[in-house]
Structure 1
């Protein structure tokens, strides 16, 4: 009989690995245009203009040049536990014995807000998807206290999330534990939801998976604080590992959301363009296509990757198709917005080439006149 051993969740034997974590699941093609968008179902309108995001709930500097994050009045050391050595870890209750609430109504959200006001700490996580919207949609918010788990439908309750939960998240005396980072202070979030697997409501197994993202975090938080504290005491270098983690968390929390903006140089930063060794004509095509897809994505509230992926942009630039038939053969009907705009895309390719030629000729003419 062959010996078996486990490696990182895998059972090894007879030259094969069995993944204990893998589950049979129905694969969904999220790129299909037939899948309804939650923005349409819930009449969500967003500002996708090519302008910086406005943090309307934050104060601004005296000169008005930037928003002031509330954490700027504090430091990472303000959140370090004073008596961490005496803290006893509180083990999480078994999932099946913990009260659970799927929050879908305003009255349920109001109850949750009251519950969070009565506790000093809670765990939080978000499920996010940005493939079918320009700025992205947060699918769910999960929150766990020491005794209860909540999963919030943040699309259905979109306009109510801020009014009911803003003050709780702004309160620096309440610690918010997110993933393995100790984001224990202010968490600036913009919340929505997207359908998972193309269907809603979520089946029980997906709700269980969502709960598990936060259910054990507070217990992990207890354990890691104790271990970091103990490791610091035994450190020959005198490193305060717990303080280091809090400072890192402080830096993470200081980050503010920034909207993706299109500039004249944006096309130079798409993945793969630097290694493509393109000619000036091909780079001009890349720039033209990037500008077109950005305009369409903002107007239709789609991601730029859904409108026209980087890989396809590079391939179009590489082949430079100047007829509709050649472009159609290249994209192979994989991209709905390109398919219905084949003429426009071909015009962009042609004009990009012509404009580049015009600029080169203008430069040569100007240079020649300067020499005279």
Structure 2
């Protein structure tokens, strides 16, 4: 449970008076890196533009060292050494770090980070909310209000407006204080180590996503009901889209949205006219329609030996009664360890456990390792196996009454 603990007047004044320092050249960046080497914890945030490009354009980096807030004018800087310096600091605090670390892995080309603490993840252990926004987090935890009106502004413009600069500074100004309070409350409830481990697992998961081969991207769009041929076509289309989007530096959805990919796989069009009956944009059909049709036809000519395996049946395919039995086990464990049940295990993760129970040669994803692992292996997997066995017995009885 989250308790609001407002900062004292003196504490808030100290944070409000932290100087904001621009870093616009390599000499200033060297001084900042020296300062980071002297501290045990920093707060980090990024501002970038990614409305009409494949690759995000990093415009600004904000760093709070506890001594000052630094705004890094990214287009003017060589950040090669900076990425390693922040990887070496003992603790790096972010809020909702997914996009920030996505950019870090893209630009740094360094291994997965082991020093990340995500305050959004920490708050999920206290509230059961998985998408706790930064503005709400500060208000509900420290009784601090920050304005978020500049979030969609042009961060590449120079100079920034006073409102943009204040917004950027405030994104890290109170983040270390937020971390301190969340850590205190989590420690009191014996949950800090769990949340720290989840933050680090998430950082590693994001790294794995950044390293994902093009031929695996289809898995985020695929449906378990697709045949192996349909999956092969989807795989080829996603791989083609990825390479094209990268080469022209446009978003994947500029070429084909997930809905369009699914429509192609399900309808298997054989002409430009049939393509026009899908949600594909007319200009895409005009420019790339023949390529799309060729991909479909080429895959259909291939031997099915080259097709991907079908996907595991999702957890939601189990009967309501089976799902209730599993939910009872989840609720019981959540009560025992004082963790919200949707934080203990998310619905989408249950499909991974279900697949593992059906085939123990599969590997559990990283987010199901660590503090959850013993319970999953000792309780949840056997429960799935029993349900699967009972389900199969019922099918046999129905076939042979």
TM-score of the two chains, using structure 2 as the length reference? 0.49
Q: Which residue of 2 aligns with 1:292?
A: 240
Contact kept in structure 1, 2:36 and 2:85, CA below 8 Å: no
Contact kept in structure 1, 2:61 and 2:73, CA below 8 Å: yes
- Residue 95 to residue 171, structure 1, CA distance change in 2 (3 Å): closer
Distance in 2 (alpha carbons) for counterparts of 1:222 and 1:208: 22
Q: Which residue of 2 aligns with 1:200?
A: 156
Kindly state the Cα deviation for residue 340 of structure 1 after the two structures are TM-superposed. Answer: 1.6
Q: Could you say which structure has the larger radius of gyration?
A: 1
- Residue 320 to residue 126, structure 1, CA distance change in 2 (3 Å): same
Kindly state the Cα deviation for residue 126 of structure 1 after the two structures are TM-superposed. Answer: 3.1
Would you say 1:98 and 2:47 are equivalent positions? Answer: no
Q: Which residue of 1 aligns with 2:62?
A: 142
Contact kept in structure 2, 1:131 and 1:306, CA below 8 Å: no
Contact kept in structure 2, 1:92 and 1:215, CA below 8 Å: no
- Residue 315 to residue 220, structure 1, CA distance change in 2 (3 Å): same
Distance in 2 (alpha carbons) for counterparts of 1:206 and 1:350: 51
Kindly state the Cα deviation for residue 222 of structure 1 after the two structures are TM-superposed. Answer: 2.7
Kindly state the Cα deviation for residue 213 of structure 1 after the two structures are TM-superposed. Answer: 2.0
Q: Which residue of 2 aligns with 1:351?
A: 298
Distance in 2 (alpha carbons) for counterparts of 1:178 and 1:333: 38
Kindly state the Cα deviation for residue 290 of structure 1 after the two structures are TM-superposed. Answer: 2.2
Q: Which residue of 1 aligns with 2:223?
A: 274
Distance in 2 (alpha carbons) for counterparts of 1:284 and 1:243: 42
Contact kept in structure 2, 1:270 and 1:310, CA below 8 Å: no
Q: Which residue of 2 aligns with 1:32?
A: none
Structure of higher RCO (CA pairs closer than 8 Å, 6+ residues apart): 1
Q: Root-mean-square deviation (CA), in Å? A: 4.1
Q: 2:63 aligns to what SS in structure 1?
A: strand
Would you say 1:166 and 2:84 are equivalent positions? Answer: yes
Contact kept in structure 2, 1:316 and 1:330, CA below 8 Å: yes
Kindly state the Cα deviation for residue 326 of structure 1 after the two structures are TM-superposed. Answer: 3.6
Segments of 5+ residues of structure 2 without an aligned counterpart are 1-7, 98-103, 109-150, 306-401
Q: 1:146 aligns to what SS in structure 2?
A: coil
Kindly state the Cα deviation for residue 210 of structure 1 after the two structures are TM-superposed. Answer: 2.6
Kindly state the Cα deviation for residue 170 of structure 1 after the two structures are TM-superposed. Answer: 1.1
Work out the number of aligned pairs and report it.
247
Distance in 2 (alpha carbons) for counterparts of 1:291 and 1:307: 12
Distance in 1 (alpha carbons) for counterparts of 2:192 and 2:304: 58
Q: Which residue of 2 aligns with 1:13?
A: none
Higher deviation after alignment, 248-257 or 99-108: 248-257
Contact kept in structure 1, 2:53 and 2:250, CA below 8 Å: yes
- Residue 338 to residue 299, structure 1, CA distance change in 2 (3 Å): farther
Among 188, 207, 227, the alignment partner of 1:257 is 207
- Residue 281 to residue 104, structure 1, CA distance change in 2 (3 Å): same
Among 264, 267, 277, the alignment partner of 1:316 is 264
Higher deviation after alignment, 195-204 or 160-169: 195-204
Among 286, 289, 294, the alignment partner of 1:342 is 289
TM-score of the two chains, using structure 1 as the length reference? 0.52
Contact kept in structure 1, 2:233 and 2:299, CA below 8 Å: yes
Q: 1:321 aligns to what SS in structure 2?
A: coil
Segments of 5+ residues of structure 1 without an aligned counterpart are 1-87, 182-187, 233-239, 361-372
Q: 1:341 aligns to what SS in structure 2?
A: helix
Kindly state the Cα deviation for residue 218 of structure 1 after the two structures are TM-superposed. Answer: 1.6
- Residue 317 to residue 245, structure 1, CA distance change in 2 (3 Å): closer
